[in-house]
Structure 1
Amino acid sequence: MNKALITSITLLVMLATPPLWADPAPQDRTGHMPTAPYLMAGAPTFDFTIGQFREKYNAINPALTIPEYRAIDSRGDKSNLTRAASKINENLYSSTAIEQGTGKVKTLQITWLPVPGPDEKAARDKARAYMAALARFFEPTLTEALSLKRLDDLLNRGKGSRYFEQSEGALRYVIADNGDKGLTFAIEPIKLAMTPN
């Protein structure tokens, strides 16, 4: 195996370990890390499979397509979720957790790995475009400019936080800012079987 492939596989495994986006929050009073909401028993799902999401998302966003998701081996994971990831480019990934049995999606995530140097701004702008497109998938009335403005507000509010969440209607937006180790934007349902507009 070549070095790039080994690095990609390692990264995908890192992205897919619970929780997918980072250590969720400061410890609670008992000294334990709280569980990410989508990992909890009975957590809601979106009313679509990852294949259905990808087909509709790519049709709406032909300039920002997401390649096919690949399941990640998660032996030893007792969450009863299937984890999958999609490599968009060398520093941009999408990942998901899928309910076993139904195949329904519990979380959708875009992770950007910073690339220091002259290409960093262009790479960050591309990541922002994907994150905003994901938000528009669920709120199609948002314009591109408005979705970028809302995303930037979320990113600013979550800056430096390993876990920041904001709920809007039936959606939970999550930011996990791990500095030079990466930035993740996630969207999760907070109602059972949520269907996008």
Structure 2
Amino acid sequence: MNKAFYLGITLLLALTTARAENAPAAQDRTEHLPSAPYLQAGSPTFDMTIGQFREKYNAINTTLQIAEYRAIDNRGDKSNLTRAASKINENLYASTALEQGTGKIKTLQITWLPVPGTEEKAARDKARAYMAAMERFFEPTLNEEQSLKRLDDLLVKGKGSRYYTQDEGAVRYILADNGDKGLTFAIEPIKLAMAGN
């Protein structure tokens, strides 16, 4: 595999080991961040495996396909998660962390590695399209324009932040902005509390 792939995977793994509970949108967090929520006991999963997600996602998004996910070597990882990634192109990757045993999804991520020069805008637009498509997968009431607007709002709020989160219903959107080293957008489930009487 090429150098860009490994850089993308490094960014993905950095996101899955960072966490900022209730972090302000524009705060530059330089202190050590505790583990992500899905690395903690009892964190929720989406009620589907990565194969089920891919099949449904690809059926809906015929022009924004995700190829089969490949397992990432997890030696030395004590999180008991299975990590996998799918290369979309030279600068765009999808990845996931799965619960061991069930194979259910703990998080889904899209990582974009900036392309210098004249191709940057087209590459960024493609990354935005994939991120918005993933939003619509979990919130099918959003149309393309609404999902892109929400994504752009998130990108503005999280710009320059090591880790920014925003809850929307039963999902949490996460943005890790590593500047010229790349940007990761993730979606993970939220454990909803039952309302009292």
User: TM-score of the superposition, structure 2-length normalised?
Assistant: 0.88
Q: Does 1:75 align with 2:75?
A: yes
Residue segments in structure 2 that go unaligned for 5+ positions in a row: 21-28, 193-197
Runs of at least 5 residues in structure 1 that lack an aligned partner in the other structure:
193-197
Moved over 3 A (4+): 22-27
Q: Give the counterpart letter for 1:35 in structure 2.
A: S
- Amino acid of the structure 1 residue aligned with 2:95: S
Q: Which residue of 2 aligns with 1:6?
A: 2
Aligned length: 184
- Normalising by structure 1, we get a TM-score of 0.88
* Corresponding position of 2:85: 85
Aligned to 2:123: 123
> Is the 1:135–1:147 Cα contact (8 Å) retained in structure 2?
yes
Task: Give me the whole-angstrom Cα distance separating, in 1, the residues matched to 2:116 and 2:169.
Answer: 36
Q: Deviations over 1:97-129 (max 9, x none)?
A: 000001000000000000010000000000000
1:153-190 deviation digits (Å, cap 9, x = unpaired):
01101011010001111111001111000011100001
2:90 matches 1:94: no
- In structure 2, the residue matched to 1:195 is none
* Preserved contact between residue 15 and residue 95 of structure 1 (Cα < 8 Å): no
Equivalent position amino acid for 1:75 in 2? R
Deviations 1:122-166 (A, max 9, x none): 000000000000000001111101110110001101011010001
Q: State the match for 1:62 in structure 2.
A: 62
* CA RMSD, Structure 1 to Structure 2 (Å): 1.7
Indicate the SS of the match to 2:187.
strand
**8 Å Cα contact 1:96/1:106 also seen in 2:** yes
2:8 touches 2:111 (CA, 8 Å); kept in 1?
no
Q: Which amino acid aligns with 2:44?
A: P
